[in-house]
């Protein structure tokens, strides 16, 4: 399928997600300081295609990788990988290397003397940074190519040439002589990346698939025949065991009869002859029975080739049963990996379910608010209808209205002197109106302020939530990036609702560990250092300290962890202080680094004797 996809777009030959990654890089180009370079294989071209298998054997693991110019670009690129590559396909995730982009290829190279053909001379590289990367990571200038097996073995077996780490044959065979001569045969029958004719490669792959399927069917048929033979042999073994048990029971019965005869008291003189004859007869029968037992044993164990064949077949069947048990263990480990993927999917489903429940709760609140407003509207409508009654339909008597008006005018004229001053009342009305408007303006301002504070509070809450999520994602991606320095995989899972943090780590060649307590001392120390570096990436502080972080690490892990910490320290330009009782002689001292060693304690002869006595 990958070859068929590569026939339409050749970049897919470097991985099933390569095309999606390149498109996402183009869309996110504004976030990079310098665009990543990759895959590395796009910038490599062979001068002679007969060395395709050998070159892939030497540098095939770094051909689909990518290059970034700084850690910030690496973080952006890792975010792109997390979007483009699903979690269940972590094996197809390409590696990322951070290095300074070069404008020219290194000039001073350690090349083997003589007329040896190196991998570097057999490659046409169109990017100086890629060439420098292959020199740094692949050491292509120190790997030679040779046509003849005998010549290569003669040269490499005695002692490798200076500045030569390995020699390769056209079929991919690798020879090394680093104190001990080793020869590795290549399992690949053809090239994977440097393919010239994709159609022919597809046809060859389809033929291989058909051949493998036919072999699988033949193996299944042989397995059925073998199981049938095993069942037959088991039935034969059961019948033989029954025969042997019958013979043993007869031997026991005859032995019991013999012991009973031996315990019989001596007969009288008159019956001595009869008893002696009877004893002789019993002895003859015993001898006959013993000879028959021996014959049966010889027939069943020695003389029968069928029995030996059955035993041999039974041993082979037991060996096949052991192999099937090993295959079952492998299937169990694969099933555990599937269960882990299932748990991750269940966790994602639970998160989506929680989001759905939250949205449902908000929807119910909106529905309740809507019902309350509708109820209030109906109440106000009913009040308005009561206040605004219908006008009377009967005609009004004019004379009655005139009499009422005259009565009111007389009342006003009579009580005119009793009323207060109109101007005074107007002033009081104006003052009350002004106070009312002033209170209204104050209330409006307070309501606007409350609304602004509410909006600001909601905005800050949302920003804080986004900050938590982005910080968690950045910490997890940095943690995974630092783990890749030793070919580990893992992630940091933050649960802000529960307030918990869990680390899931898969060491190289091991199973997934959801609890760091199940790791070894060195693995736990290395993962702790990686997690602390990831936290430092998101937490800014001018001074950073680590105390005895490499105590439980082996030499290789300690060297990797120290180089990783120093690389991060040089990029961040912060003050770092490391305390360790280990030897640091393997470090390369630079101007920005200083090592302080504590002097050895001065001990007198008396103190030494006291130490020995206490021991």
The reply to whether 589 falls in a domain is yes
Answer with the one of 303, 325, 355 that is the final residue of a domain. 303
User: In whole angstroms, how far apart are CA 350 and each of 83, 370, 490, 504?
Assistant: 20, 30, 21, 19
**90 & 213 share domain:** no
Report the alpha-carbon distance of residue 193 to residue 62 in Å, rounded: 11
Reduced DSSP (H G I as helix, E B as strand, rest coil) percent helix, strand, coil of the chain, to 5: 65, 10, 25
- Percent of the chain surpassing pLDDT 70: 83
Q: What is the mean pLDDT of residues 241-265?
A: 74
Query: Which range, 15-24, 65-74, 213-222, 600-609, is most confident?
Result: 65-74
Q: Tell me the backbone φ, ψ of residue 110, rounded to 5 degrees.
A: -95, 90
Question: Which of 13-22, 555-564, 573-582, 604-613 shows the lowest per-residue confidence on average (mean pLDDT)?
Answer: 604-613
pLDDT, tens only, 171-224: 889 998 877 888 888 887 778 777 765 556 666 667 777 788 888 888 888 888
| Residue 322 included in any domain | no
pLDDT at 3: 54
| pLDDT digit string, tens, across residues 467-482 | 888 888 888 888 888 8
Domain boundaries, position 484: 469-614
pLDDT band with cut points at 50, 70 and 90 for residue 36: very high
Say which CATH number the domain at 581 has: 3.40.50.300
Residues 28 and 39 in one domain: yes
Across the range 23-36, mean pLDDT stands at: 90
Can you give the pLDDT at residue 262? Answer: 67
On whether both 6 and 60 belong to a single domain, the answer is: yes
Give the mean model confidence (pLDDT) for residues 18-37.
89
User: Is residue 605 in a domain?
Assistant: yes
What confidence tier does 260 reach under pLDDT thresholds 50, 70, 90?
confident
In this predicted model, what pLDDT tens digit does every residue of 399-432 receive, in sequence order?
777 787 788 777 777 766 555 556 676 777 788 8
Number of domains the chain contains: 3
Residue 72 has pLDDT above 60, yes or no: yes
Question: pTM to 2 decimals?
Answer: 0.38
Tell me: do 154 and 233 sit in the same domain. Answer: no
Domain assignment present for residue 452? The answer is no
d(CA 139, CA 143): 7
- Classify residue 361: in a domain, yes or no: no
Residue 86 lies in a domain: yes
Does 178 lie in the same domain as 115? yes
| pLDDT of 112 above 70 | yes
The DSSP secondary-structure symbol of 519 reads S
**Alpha helix stretches (DSSP H) within 93-148:** 128-133
| Rounded Cα–Cα distance for residues 478 and 535 (Å) | 8
Q: Is residue 588 domain-shared with residue 571, that is, in the same domain?
A: yes
Cis omega before residue 39 (within 30°)?
Answer: yes
pLDDT of residue 297: 64
Residue 98, pLDDT score = 93
Of 95, 191, 217, 3, nearest to 483 by C-alpha is 95
**Domain end (from 180, 196, 212):** 196
Mean pLDDT over the full length of the chain: 78
Query: Where do the H-state alpha helices sit in 124-194?
Result: 128-133, 149-158
Q: Indicate whether 391 pLDDT > 70.
A: no
pLDDT at 196: 65
Do 136 and 204 fall into the same domain?
no
Tokens standing for residue 182: 């080793």
Say yes or no to pLDDT of 83 above 70. Answer: yes
Helix (H, G, I), strand (E, B) or coil at 69: coil
| Residues 169, 87 within the same domain | yes
Q: Is residue 251 pLDDT above 60, yes or no?
A: yes
Q: 167: exposed, middle or buried (C-beta count within 10 Å: 0-12, 13-18, 19+)?
A: buried
- 473 and 593: one domain? yes
pLDDT for the residue numbered 266: 47
In this structure, the answer to whether residues 114 and 251 fall within a common structural domain is no
> Looking at 285, 303, 321, which one is the last position of a domain?
303
Residues 92 and 189 occupy one common structural domain: yes
The pLDDT score that the predictor gives to residue 396 is 59
Q: How confident is the model at residue 370 (pLDDT cuts 50, 70, 90)?
A: confident
Query: Is residue 538 in some structural domain?
Result: yes
Give the span between the Cα atoms of 387 and 25, in whole angstroms: 70
Look at residue 376 and tell me if it is in a domain: no
Q: Hey, how many other C-beta atoms are within 10 angstroms of the C-beta on 579?
A: 10
Q: What are the tens digits of pLDDT across the range 284-301?
A: 877 777 777 777 666 655
70 and 183 housed in the same domain: yes
CB atoms within 10 A of CB 496: 11
Q: Which residue has the higher pLDDT, 103 or 346?
A: 103
Pick from 94-103, 186-195, 331-340, 534-543 the range whose average pLDDT is largest.
Answer: 94-103
**Which one is predicted more confidently, 227 or 336?**
227
């Amino acid at each position: 399928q990958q070859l068929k996809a590569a026939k339409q777009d050749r970049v897919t030959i470097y991985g099933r997600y390569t095309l999606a990654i390149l498109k996402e890089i183009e869309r996110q180009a504004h976030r990079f300081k310098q665009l990543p370079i990759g895959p590395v294989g796009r910038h490599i071209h062979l001068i002679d295609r007969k060395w395709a298998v050998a070159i892939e054997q030497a540098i095939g693991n770094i051909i689909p990788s990518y290059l970034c110019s700084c850690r910030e670009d690496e973080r952006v690129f890792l975010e792109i990988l997390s979007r483009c590559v699903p979690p269940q396909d972590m094996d197809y995730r390409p590696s990322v290397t951070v290095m300074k982009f070069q404008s020219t290829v290194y000039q001073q190279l350690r090349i083997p003397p003589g007329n040896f053909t190196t991998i570097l001379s057999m490659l046409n590289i169109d990017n100086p940074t890629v060439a420098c990367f292959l020199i740094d990571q692949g050491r292509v200038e120190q790997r030679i190519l040779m046509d003849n097996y005998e010549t290569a073995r003669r040269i490499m077996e005695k002692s490798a040439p200076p500045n030569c780490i390995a020699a390769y044959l056209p079929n991919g065979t690798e020879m090394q002589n680093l104190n001990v001569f080793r020869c590795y045969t290549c399992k690949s029958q053809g090239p994977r990346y440097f393919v010239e004719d994709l159609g022919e490669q597809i046809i060859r792959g389809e033929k291989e698939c058909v051949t493998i399927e036919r072999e699988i069917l033949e193996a299944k048929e042989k397995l059925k025949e073998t199981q049938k033979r095993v069942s037959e042999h088991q039935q034969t073994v059961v019948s033989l065991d029954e025969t042997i048990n019958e013979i043993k029971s007869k031997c026991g019965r005859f032995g019991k009869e013999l012991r009973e005869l031996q315990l019989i008291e001596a007969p009288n003189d008159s019956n001595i002859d009869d008893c002696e004859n009877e004893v002789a007869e019993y002895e003859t029968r015993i001898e006959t029975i013993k000879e028959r037992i021996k014959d049966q044993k010889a027939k069943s164990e020695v003389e029968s080739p069928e029995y030996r064949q059955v035993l041999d077949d039974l041993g082979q069947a037991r060996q096949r049963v052991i192999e099937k048990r090993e295959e079952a263990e492998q299937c169990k480990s694969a099933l555990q990996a599937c269960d882990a993927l299932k748990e991750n999917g269940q966790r994602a489903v639970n998160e989506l379910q929680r989001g759905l429940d939250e949205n449902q709760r908000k929807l119910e609140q909106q529905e309740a608010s809507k019902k309350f407003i509708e109820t209030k509207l109906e109440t106000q409508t009913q009040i308005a209808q009561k206040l605004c009654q219908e006008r009377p339909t009967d005609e009004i008597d004019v004379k009655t209205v005139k009499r009422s008006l005259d009565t009111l005018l007389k009342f006003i004229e009579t009580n005119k002197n009793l009323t207060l001053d109109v101007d005074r009342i107007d002033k009081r009305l104006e003052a009350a109106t002004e106070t009312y408007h002033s209170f209204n303006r104050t209330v409006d301002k307070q309501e606007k302020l409350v609304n602004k504070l509410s909006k600001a509070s909601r905005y800050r809450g949302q920003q804080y939530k986004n900050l938590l999520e982005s910080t968690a994602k950045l910490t997890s991606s940095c943690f995974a990036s630092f783990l890749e320095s030793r070919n580990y995989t893992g992630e940091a899972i933050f649960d802000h609702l529960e307030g918990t943090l869990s680390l899931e780590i898969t060491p190289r060649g091991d199973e997934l560990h959801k609890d760091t307590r199940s790791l070894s001392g060195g693995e736990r120390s290395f993962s702790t250092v990686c997690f602390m570096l990831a936290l430092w990436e998101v937490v800014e502080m001018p001074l950073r300290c680590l105390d005895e972080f490499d105590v439980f690490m082996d030499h290789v892990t300690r060297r990797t962890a120290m180089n990783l910490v120093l690389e991060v320290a040089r990029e961040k330009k912060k003050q770092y202080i490391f305390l360790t009782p280990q030897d640091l002689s393997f470090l390369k001292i630079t101007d920005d680094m200083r090592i302080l060693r504590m002097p050895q304690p001065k001990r007198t002869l008396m103190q030494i004797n006291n130490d020995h006595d206490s021991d």
